Amino acid sequence: MKMVAGNWKMNKTLQEGVALATELKEAVKNPNCAVVIGTPFIHLATVAELLKDSPIAVAAENCADKEKGAYTGEVSAAMVRSTGAEYCILGHSERRAYYHEDYAILREKTQLALANGLKVIFCIGEVKEEREAGKQNEVVKAQLEGSVFNLTAEEWKNVVLAYEPVWAIGTGLTATPEQAQEIHAYIRGLVAQRYGQEVADATTILYGGSCNEKNAAELFACPDIDGGLIGGAALVAEKFLAIIAAR
Ligand code: PEP
């Protein structure tokens, strides 16, 4: 499946988010790919209601690693699902780096999200030093083995991968199409080893990291890049719409 997904991160008040979602709803009627927007938790119910008759699906940017109970301030996967959101972004490099989400925590979150009927957009990717040391393949392999390759083939159907080199996120540095294609092909090969070639061919693998309206078409032309996970450019309707049109 081809897909363009936005990740608003910690941007937009509720009113600003509703305004952006309304603009997108009016423009996206019959897209040639799946379209998802990831919003802050507190916007989910309103934005999901607004988009309920639209082809645009809504994603949370995180969920708790516990089912329910005395975890003040946390938001469970069941709560996310109850808003009408269909997806949950997990494993984003900002969550890994700033909130210390390790392989085991992400394994729990993924299990809970899937068990509660959410689809997961699972992010992987190396930091600059790892790329410079030529270790990007071993890094993404360890991230997959550590958190999601425990899933059954049935569960895997609801997983989308997003390769996001950390050195390209929000930096204006984009992986070249060749760099991105090379590692996407490697990732698809790992999925094939674990789940078989047919499943690997059906797996959606997004590229993320300073993907914008100018470079999207070139990246999306690569055979193993099924779409994009978009940060900064997802905050401006005309940029996000241009990226959707490029897919
Ligand atoms: C992201 O955070 O998922 C991302 C890809 O951000 P940006 O597009 O701003 O680099």
pTM of the model: 0.98
Distance 9 CA to ligand 1 centre (A): 9
pLDDT in tens, 175-220: 899 999 999 999 999 999 999 999 999 999 999 999 999 999 999 9
Is 7 touching ligand 1 by the criterion CB < 6 Å?
Answer: yes
Residue nearest to atom 3 of ligand 1 (CA): 231
Q: Are the CB atoms for 60 and 88 separated by under 8 Å? A: yes
In this structure, are residues 48 and 85 in contact, taking their beta carbons and an 8 Å threshold?
yes
- Determine whether 43 is an active site residue: no
Position in ligand 1 atom list of the atom nearest CA 94: 2
Report whether residue 170 contacts ligand 1, using a CB cutoff of 6 Å.
yes
Beta bridge mates, 57: 36
- Catalytic residue status for 164: yes
Instruction: Convert the pLDDT of each residue in 54-88 to its tens digit.
Output: 999 999 999 999 999 999 999 999 999 999 999 99
Taking Cα atoms as reference points, which of 51, 41, 50, 38 lies closest to residue 87? 38
Please give the distance, rounded to the nearest whole angstrom, from the Cα atom of residue 170 to the centre of ligand 1. 5
